[in-house]
Amino acid sequence: MAETKKRYQLGIIGWPLGYSLSPAMHNAALKAAGLSGEYREIPVKPEALEGWLEREAPKLDGFNVTMPHKEAVCAWLKQHGRVRNSRDQRMGAVNAVRVEQGRLVGCNTDGDGFLRLLDRTSDSSRLFDERSEKKVVLLGAGGAARAIAFSLAASGFGEIRIWNRHRERAQALANDLAPYAKGNAACHSSVLEAVDAAALKGVDLLVQTTPAGMKGKEPLPCDIPFDLLEKLDRAAKPSKKPVLCDIVYDPKETPFLLRAKEHGLTFVGGLGMLIEQAALSFEFWFGDVVPKEKLRRISLVMGHAIGDSI
């Protein structure tokens, strides 16, 4: 008798779930990998999350987690399942879960997706050379900033400054980060309004991680000294020119990136991070099933699948 091919059941939970690009990316990836199954949007209200994790999640093979559930799912997994490693546990947010014989195991692919984007982008890959001497400034200290900061620290970036609207949150992240920073990495925090010329001197990477500038939202209220960044850029050797990044991906060119462009600065948009974190989720679920050469092409497949959606 012919063996029935397994149909994988995957999805993304969040509330509210607007139009998510994840189903298009993952359904194309399943097809390209020769797997049968489907990835769908699963709206889960915050008050229904616990019940859903207990009863519905084990029926799936894996799922992504988006706002506002990333922290709550991580906390639940620490008690009732498992978080992949101590770094992700400490980070405190989970965006991908796989189901292993009914038990849920979570991880965070946002930060590593961000690093992979930098590494695969010709304008930013040089940041990895002598990274222990590199200075990074993060604007914002929310879930995405935490993921990025932990990945940067674990991979050896030397100095990470966190600037946030509420200082306590920036300080909490700097404190949590310190044990994960390699070598003599320094972690500092401050309020967003204090981002001035002195703070940005010698910056190698400036990352905008707040939702400001997203479709329908105002740009960052504080005044980033783009004039100064332009001066620094002009005076710097090619290997020391600052790279600016906005992880917001809708619109593709955010107000922050448009200012960077106006000032002739090197910039990287957030859509690539969305694709790389999705590809890493796919690897988390199917790393043992799909041949490595197919996995290597998955981010390309996902990029084509969303094409001009934004």
Ligand X SMILES: NC(=O)c1ccc[n+]([C@@H]2O[C@H](COP(=O)([O-])OP(=O)(O)OC[C@H]3O[C@@H](n4cnc5c(N)ncnc54)[C@H](OP(=O)(O)O)[C@@H]3O)[C@@H](O)[C@H]2O)c1
Q: Are 295 and 30 in contact (CB under 8 A)?
A: no
Stretch that binds ligand X, among 28-36, 128-136, 244-252, 256-264 (CB under 6 A): 244-252
70 is catalytic: yes
Of the candidates 70, 182, 237, 252, the residue annotated as catalytic is: 70
Residue with tokens 């990025």: 148
User: Exactly one of 144, 181, 301, 302 binds ligand X (CB under 6 A); which one?
Assistant: 144
Q: Is 274 in the site for ligand X (CB under 6 A)?
A: yes
Q: Which is nearer to ligand X, 35 or 275 (CB)?
A: 275
Q: Is 247 in the site for ligand X (CB under 6 A)?
A: yes
User: Exactly one of 25, 174, 177, 273 binds ligand X (CB under 6 A); which one?
Assistant: 273
Q: Is 254 in the site for ligand X (CB under 6 A)?
A: no
Number of residues that bind ligand X (CB under 6 A): 27
We find the least distance from the C-beta atom of residue 102 to ligand X, in angstroms, to be: 29
Contacts of 157 (CB under 8 A, 6+ apart): 131, 132, 134, 136, 185
Site string for ligand X, 201-220 (x = CB under 6 A): --------xxxx-x-----x
The strand pairing partners of 205, in sequence order, are 136, 243
Compute the CA torsion angle 196, 202, 207, 213 (nearest 10 deg).
Answer: 40
Stretch that binds ligand X, among 96-104, 174-182, 225-233, 272-280 (CB under 6 A): 272-280
- C-alpha angle 11-284-67 in degrees, rounded to nearest 5: 45
Name the H helices within the chain: 22-32, 49-51, 70-80, 86-91, 110-120, 143-154, 167-177, 197-200, 226-235, 255-262, 271-286, 292-296, 298-306
Q: Is 142 in the site for ligand X (CB under 6 A)?
A: yes
Q: Which is nearer to ligand X, 214 or 228 (CB)?
A: 214
Q: Are 31 and 282 in contact (CB under 8 A)?
A: no
C-alpha to C-alpha distance for 298 and 36, rounded to whole angstroms: 16
Q: Is 164 in the site for ligand X (CB under 6 A)?
A: yes
Q: Are 242 and 204 in contact (CB under 8 A)?
A: yes
Known catalytic residues?
70
Residues of the shown chain interacting with ligand X in the complex, contacts defined by CB under 6 A: 67, 110, 140-145, 164-166, 169, 192, 209-212, 214, 220-221, 247-249, 270, 273-274, 277
